[in-house]
A and B are shown apart, each in its own frame.
Chain A
């Protein structure tokens, strides 16, 4: 089974999904990311899905649950780079990714994460 690599950059974890995701791969990413947040004390997670040609309900649920798990572990998740056709399809499918922060591209996503990281700002997690 493929595993998605997780890179660390300062206090952020970076994930770029570049394969057509199997369900098990998506679940493994969820586990790997949770473990990595715990191990590194990362406060931000950036997930780049610009290479994903579809997001179905399974992948959508994975993104939402990663965001939820990360939040409980005191890290903010930003999903970046969703293709417009994917966004249109996702909303029509009935998924609005409630609770998942999104940004148009990696640059804006990184800015969101670095700006929401003041040491004592407890509200920054959302």
Chain B
């Protein structure tokens, strides 16, 4: 990858941005030569988490970085908002639980699609979900 392309950020404010985040992650995973299944998993996880940021976090941004561990390359994405935060994280990570009108698979499902998954959240301050998928 060219220098400067290995990290970046984009806003997540509306539905159009959710589509843009998918397209961005597709380009990034293609550049890293992820397999088609791995691309699809990462794009789907990004779609879920972008929607969470827009719908529940009141908007925010997606940051990305390519990461290296020895000979392995990977892609790490951060979804950050300054929304209400998640009061009960364990509950929010339960399949089928939703605070809104969704199916309740966004957070728990995304976790299954990636290799590393981390949520930092504070009520009244905001939420940051970080995911990593290794090639």
Contact = CB atoms under 8 A, between A and B. Distances in A.
11 contacts: A20-B23, A22-B18, A54-B44, A56-B44, A86-B40, A88-B41, A93-B109, A93-B110, A93-B113, A94-B109, A94-B112
Interface in B85-122: 95, 102-103, 105-106, 108-110, 112-113
Interface of A: 20-24, 53-58, 60-61, 83-86, 88-90, 92-95
B19 A20 contact: yes
Q: Is the interface of B mostly helix, strand, loop or mixed?
A: helix
A76 B109 CA distance: 29
Interface of B: 15-16, 18-19, 22-23, 26, 36-37, 39-41, 43-44, 47-48, 51, 95, 102-103, 105-106, 108-110, 112-113
Nearest to B109: A93
Contact of B40 (A58, A85, A95): A85
A56 B44 CA distance: 6
Given A22-B16, A89-B113, A94-B95, A57 B22 contact: no
A92 B113 contact: yes
B27 to A, nearest CB: 12
